[in-house]
Amino acid sequence: METVKTFWQSHAELFLDLAYKALLVLLVLVATAVLAGWARRSVRHAHQKLNKLDATLVPLLSSLAGYGFYLVGLVIILDILGFNTSSLIALLGAAGLAVGLALKDTLGNIAAGIMLLILRPFKAGDFIECGSFSGTVKEVGLFTTVLETGDGLYVSAPNGSLWGAPIKNYSRNGKRRMDLVVGIAYGDPLEKGLAVLARLAAEEPRLLSDPAPQVMVLTLGESSVNLQLRAWAKVADYWPAYWDLNQRIKLAIEAEGLTIPFPQRVLSLAPGHSFVSKESH
């Protein structure tokens, strides 16, 4: 007992100092966590109220705000523990270089995410295609961009793969051109086929008048004369109008007595010879 008392008397000041620093570190950790959470929520609430930020920027700014408070908290904790900040800066510089080389792909994704948010080739809600994947942009994060495919699948794409490849944005311009092709027989009146396409375009309210729809002879195929209707529609109307017009073109072509041909092979038996085949259209 006397030994314990003596040990405490000789080390009491050290223990009290350690306990004091531990309490301060704990308070700083709690305050940092609270402030970081508050900063993230503030960014999201500010976006909801002001609605001035691009929705793709909100998750990134929210994360950066939280990380900023954690960084400040780390500096305060190191100061409490008595670290030499000047030596620490040099150490962090060397460590940062090593970490940067080891995590160059990860840091590349972060840099790519920042460039995507600055140049903004797409935003949340846009339908994009890049490389082998396509979908609606849900979120651009520090490391990845989250997409939802047309059939409802979740895709998490590294920002570097988006930044390093051409991006098709189907929503950016607000309108798209549809190209509808139908073939008629070589013996059918050409003018009648073109008139059918022009009439259907004029009757479709979802097609834009500027640019105006166009009808033309596209190609002279092996078995048909291919006519084309080129028309523009708003992005939201594109697929419904495209599907409806395909159906109506077939019905209208047949109703006008025109023929949609298809390749046929005719086999005939010549007297004294084996089967002979020939193509007819």
**Least-confidence region, from 160-164, 175-179, 216-220, 263-267:** 263-267
Q: How large is the C-alpha radius of gyration of the chain?
A: 34
In the predicted structure, residue 242 carries a pLDDT above the cut 70 = yes
- pLDDT of the residue at 199: 96
Domain annotation for the chain: domains and CATH numbers? 11-102 (1.10.287.1260), 121-169 (2.30.30.60), 175-255 (3.30.70.100)
The region, left, alpha or beta by phi > 0 then psi within -120 to 50, assigned to residue 224 is beta
In the predicted structure, residue 103 carries a pLDDT above the cut 60 = no
In the predicted structure, residue 236 carries a pLDDT above the cut 80 = yes
Where does the pLDDT of residue 37 fall: very low under 50, low under 70, confident under 90, or very high at 90 and above? confident
203 or 36, which is more confident: 203
- pLDDT of the residue at 144: 87
Mean pLDDT of 159-165: 88
182 or 98, which is more confident: 182
- What's the chain's average pLDDT? 82
Give long-range contacts, CB 8 A cutoff, 24+ apart: 54-57. Answer: 54/117, 54/120, 54/123, 54/124, 55/123, 55/124, 55/125, 56/116, 56/117, 56/120, 56/122, 56/123, 56/124, 56/137, 56/139, 56/140, 57/117, 57/140
| 3-class SS shares of the chain: helix, strand, coil, % to 5 | 50, 25, 25
- pLDDT of the residue at 138: 92
pTM of the model: 0.61
